[in-house]
Amino acid sequence: MHIEPFANGGCRSYLISCETSGRAILIDPEIHLVERYKAAIARDGLSLSYLLDTHTHADHFSASRQLGAALGVPVVHGRKSPAPFADMRLDDGEMLVAGDVRLVALATPGHTRDSMCFSAGDALFTGDTLLIGGTGRTDLPTGDPEQLYDSLFGRLLKFDPATRVFPGHDYKGNSESTIGQEIETNPRLQKRDRQEFVAMMRELNLAAPTHLTEALRTNMSGGITVEQLLSEAAHTVPFMSLAELHDQLARGTNDLIVLDVREKDAFAKGHIPGARHLARGQLELRINELFPDPTVRILACCEFGKISTLAAATLKQLGFMRAVALDGGMKAWKDAGYAVEADQ
């Protein structure tokens, strides 16, 4: 069995492959590494059999659904996963087979209700249940320190001390450990008394993950991230630079309508001279009322250039095929020293 690790911002995923058949399993794929996974699979001539998430992630975005759709590979979750798009759900003790690789599922709730670990030979893929020098936190949705104690001391730490540990995160520059090493050196595992361990976990007072709400939403529903939404919108519309817009306005171009899609109070405090206003939230409902001619050229602008990109993409979907987005926003316009008009 060959194990190829991938890392991105402290998150780790693993491509496990059978060296005789080329069948492979990808564990905890992350959205920003999709092209790297594809390149590795193509490089080694592998046939991907399964995409596997160890649990519902709250700190990064899973690529399972995207890769599954693109490659025609089934997405596998634990039985208690809330995600509706899983093609297969594993119960404790069940197994995935990829050539000679036998990946056995272990139900290990605690970090989350649906947390699963997986063993194959002398390797143990622990997700966020057991980390190198730490454990998964239990203060996020469905976390439970009592269950984590049972999963650690009742299951994982009973594996042979030589068992290699491959965790879902690498926060301290360490990518691999063993059960024996963790028993000996992991600070959280020194609290072997149940009550002491539970009390320690409840008193950690950790900061919430940066993308907690969005990560849970996308990983549970299979929806796309805001970054993906913006990227998709940006691929459908042209952009205009601040300097080009400034020059066109200075020349008195009369075939360009600047449409400010910020909220009314932000528009009133200062906008590009001559701009019209229509808040992004009213765009679909009022655009035909304001601009009955779909052949007009509309440039959307906002504060930072993101909402206007979405607005321009929406305008094109509504039939305004000459819609364009400002590359940058009002902040960049002001920083460039260009004129601003305010309502009295």
Per-domain residue ranges for the chain?
2-223, 228-335
* pLDDT tier at 206, thresholds 50, 70, 90: confident
Cβ neighbours of 110 (radius 10 Å): 26
Residue type, 340: V
d(CA 205, CA 203): 6
Q: What is the pLDDT of residues 294-306, one digit of tens each?
A: 999 999 999 999 9
pLDDT at 59 over 80: no
Contact 88, 117 (CB under 8 A): no
Question: How high is the pLDDT of residue 91?
Answer: 95
pLDDT at 209 over 80: no
* pLDDT tier at 31, thresholds 50, 70, 90: confident
- Compute the mean pLDDT over every residue in the chain, rounded to the nearest whole number: 89
Per DSSP, what are the bridge partners of residue 242?
none
Question: How high is the pLDDT of residue 262?
Answer: 93
Is the pTM higher than 0.75? no
Per DSSP, what are the bridge partners of residue 259?
276, 300
* pLDDT tier at 119, thresholds 50, 70, 90: very high
CATH number of 2-223: 3.60.15.10
Question: How high is the pLDDT of residue 271?
Answer: 95
With CA atoms as reference, report the closest residue to 49 among 12, 103, 95, 97. Answer: 97
Question: How high is the pLDDT of residue 123?
Answer: 97
Question: How high is the pLDDT of residue 216?
Answer: 54
Contact 330, 272 (CB under 8 A): yes
**Sheet with 47-52: strands ordered across:** 2-8, 11-17, 23-27, 47-52, 75-78, 88-90
Contact 298, 324 (CB under 8 A): yes
Contact 308, 325 (CB under 8 A): yes
* pLDDT tier at 323, thresholds 50, 70, 90: very high
Structure tokens at 292: 């009955």
b/e 258-267 (16+ beta carbons within 10 angstroms → b): bbbbbeeeeb
d(CA 325, CA 281): 17
Q: For domain 228-335, is the CATH number 3.90.320.10?
A: no
